[in-house]
Chain A
Amino acid sequence: MRPLLRARLSRERLRPPPVILAIAFAALTGAALILASGHNPLNAYVEIVRGSLSPAAWPDTLNWATPLVGMALAAAIPLRGGMVNLGGDGQLVIGGLIGALAPVFLPVPGAVGAAAGLALAALGGGLYAALAAWGEVRHGVSMLISSLLLSYPAIGVTSYLARFPLRDVSTGLPQTMMIPPNARLPVLAEPLNAGSLLIAAIALAVIFIDRRTSAGYELRMRGKNSRFAGYGGVRLGPQAAWAMFFSGAVAGLVGATIVLGSQFRFIDGALLTPAYTWSGLMAALLASGEPVGTIAAALFFAALQTGGFAMQRETSVPRVLTLVLQAIVILFLAMRRGLGRRA
């Protein structure tokens, strides 16, 4: 018995961690895809690494990572309690539009306008996400599906507003009025702006709440076993609403920081094209909502995607390949362990 046990233990120890295996598997599958399309996979991967991790590329990688980490945190908050928020896109555009309108229309000085934009964007995104929780608690509509379905009206209405009533008529494009320079987020070092600091602060707050507060403990307990949490005195309905509110608030803030920090107006579709929501959700799923792991995964995906631009430039392998790699990593890991509980 003893030697057998020892043999098994040492084999356990020798087995590489699943995340490394998943990345290796994704890299191999991706290499096959690149080969099949007539390019050299080794060159492509070298360009990804050089284009994201070389010191010259750090600012770009961090700039890309800012919204991605934000959306990953937005996905991780409810996921920690076993809930899934698929509606990040809707909350993102609501926050973006509010962030773009507040400094233009509120009769306050620039910096106050920016702060108001951020606060109102968080409130708007949060309330919209909480709507999905309310639907589940009050009307029994599965949050998984309602959060996603609510996304479409939000995207449609913001798109309509940016194209018709609120359009900047001095340009021919579907975008709102330019935010005045004194209401923009201060630049730290091109292309990074204060939005990155804000997201970093949120990340620290999420880690602290998760590890050191009773609210974080109760949410984790719900994620492990919601009935036990309910039996232990956690009020599940309000908890779901608060988790979704904070999730949506972070998503709304991300939208506002992009608008106030780099785009300076709400441009129809511009917040959704990079698919931050989905990459962020994948990062959160990869770590089952554990904040530090989620942030690490989001940084990894950000590096992958930033490197993808360099790869496309240097080797003409389309950069959407990086999305394929991400999806393979997630699918590989999903096969080895579940989400913990079914949503």
Chain B
Amino acid sequence: MQSLLTPFLFQSAAQAITPILLAATAGVLCGRVGVFNLALEGQMLVGAFAAIVGSYFCHSALAGVAAAMVATAAFSLILGYGATIFLGDPVVIGIGMNLLASGLTAYLLRVIFGVSGTFSDPGVVGLGRITVPALVGVPVLGWAFARQSAVTWAAWALAAVVSVVQFLTPVGLRLRGVGEQPEAASTLGVNVVRYRVIAVLVGGALAGLAGAQLSLGAVSVFAEDMSAGRGWIAVVAVMLGRNNPLYAAAACVLFGFADAIGVNLQSRGLPNQLTDIAPYVATLLALVVTHRRRVRTS
């Protein structure tokens, strides 16, 4: 166990946490206003693809990130309007959006880049890592954050911003009101539909950022269905955190470490087919354990 807690473990955990944390923050934002967002997986995939497209054609990682956020926010219009004025079931819409994202990105991959499976090109500019000199060599925090992309920093900052906005500002009060008592909020003059749509669109932009981290973060490559279940883990983090961004972030840290430990075991010769399942098993166990405790305390 001692030899497992290396600086590298913390670094790879911080890297694994980033996309899940961003997606979970997006999910919390939607959940708070009463829209169950099951489409995080597809939103991340759209973001990952748009990031590659933006970066490839503009030769800039920033353009890639911007493209990811805009494209995913636009994609989220389906959920934003579908679950509000079109009265659709968010579960069906979420499943449909995930499949649409999977098919659409695969289609565009073939049409735009003429390849199937994976796409990488020297023309794609990845997100550079930022070295923070003050943190280099500092145990734990430094191991995790001394050399990470700007998106990792943004993920934590955004989680903090969403927490502050939700619990300490008038806008946050209205957001919570829209989620908990839409009729009451509406009576007080809050436009419920508008709040829901905007929350879903902002969430979409965050999920797009998560996708950008996937495709432009560690290696600059897009692979079909590369979100690979991370969106679903984020959905679980939202459920575990009961729409509280801080609890959801804690759940993301757990999954990130499970993922990193899996990668670590892989480097010791365990086959990756087995180590890849670590975050999912951790997720299932977390669901069981937290429910037990909830029952006992109530």
Give the contacts of B254-298 with A (CB-CB under 8 A).
271, 273-274, 276-277, 280-281, 283-284, 287-288, 291-292, 294-295
Asked whether, in the complex, the Cβ of B107 is within 8 Å of the Cβ of A320, the reply is: yes
User: CA separation between A142 and B232, bound complex, in Å?
Assistant: 13
A105, chain B: closest CB distance, angstroms: 21
Closest A residue by C-beta to B90: A342
Most buried by B among A33, A157, A278, A327: A327
**Dominant secondary structure at the A interface:** helix
A163 in contact (CB, < 8 A): yes
B134 CB within 8 Å of chain A:
no
Contact A338 B89, beta carbon cutoff 8 Å: yes
Instruction: Decide yes or no whether A5 CB sits under 8 A from chain B.
Output: no
Q: How far is the CA of A59 from the CA of B255 in the complex (A)?
A: 46
A282 to B96, CA, bound (A): 8
A318 interface contact, C-beta 8 A: yes
Q: Is A156 in contact with B82, judged by CB distance below 8 angstroms?
A: no
Q: Count residues on chain A whose CB falls below 8 Å from chain B CBs.
A: 44
Q: Does A321 contact B (CB under 8 A)?
A: yes
Residue among B86, B103, B104 with the highest chain A CB neighbour number at 10 A: B103
Q: Which of A86, A140, A153 contacts B295 (CB 8 A)?
A: A140
How far is B281's CA from A153's CA once the two chains are assembled, in angstroms? 7
Q: Is A37 an interface residue (CB 8 A)?
A: yes
B18 interface residue (CB < 8 Å to A): no
Given A84-B91, A145-B236, A285-B92, A324-B100 contact (CB < 8 Å): yes
From A286, which residue of chain B is reached at the shortest CB distance? B92
**Number of B positions contacting A (CB below 8 A):** 44
Interface residue from A145, A156, A321, A339 paired with B274 (Cβ < 8 Å): A156
Assuming the contacts A149-B232, A330-B92, A338-B89, asked whether A318 and B291 have C-beta atoms less than 8 A apart, the reply is no
Contact partners of B276 in chain A: CB under 8 A: 152, 156
Q: Are A338 and B92 in contact (CB under 8 A)?
A: yes
* Residue on B nearest A33 in the bound complex, by CB: B107
- Do B280 and A160 have beta carbons less than 8 Å apart? no
Within 8 A of B (CB), among A146-175: 146, 148-150, 152-153, 156-157, 159-160, 163-164
Does B137 belong to the interface (CB within 8 Å)? no
B107 touches A139 (CB 8 A): no
Binary flags per residue of A131-146, CB closer than 8 Å to B gives 1, else 0: 0000100011110111
Which residues of chain A are near B284, meaning CB under 8 Å? 135, 141, 146, 149-150
Is the CB–CB distance between B107 and A321 below 8 Å? yes
Bound Cα distance A336, B92 (Å): 12
Cβ of A198 < 8 Å from any Cβ of B? no
Contacts A140-B295, A141-B288, A323-B107 known; list 5 others, CB within 8 Å: A148-B232, A323-B102, A327-B100, A335-B93, A338-B89
Binding site for A on B (CB under 8 A): 36, 78, 82, 86-93, 95-97, 99-100, 102-104, 106-107, 110-111, 116, 229, 232, 235-236, 239, 271, 273-274, 276-277, 280-281, 283-284, 287-288, 291-292, 294-295
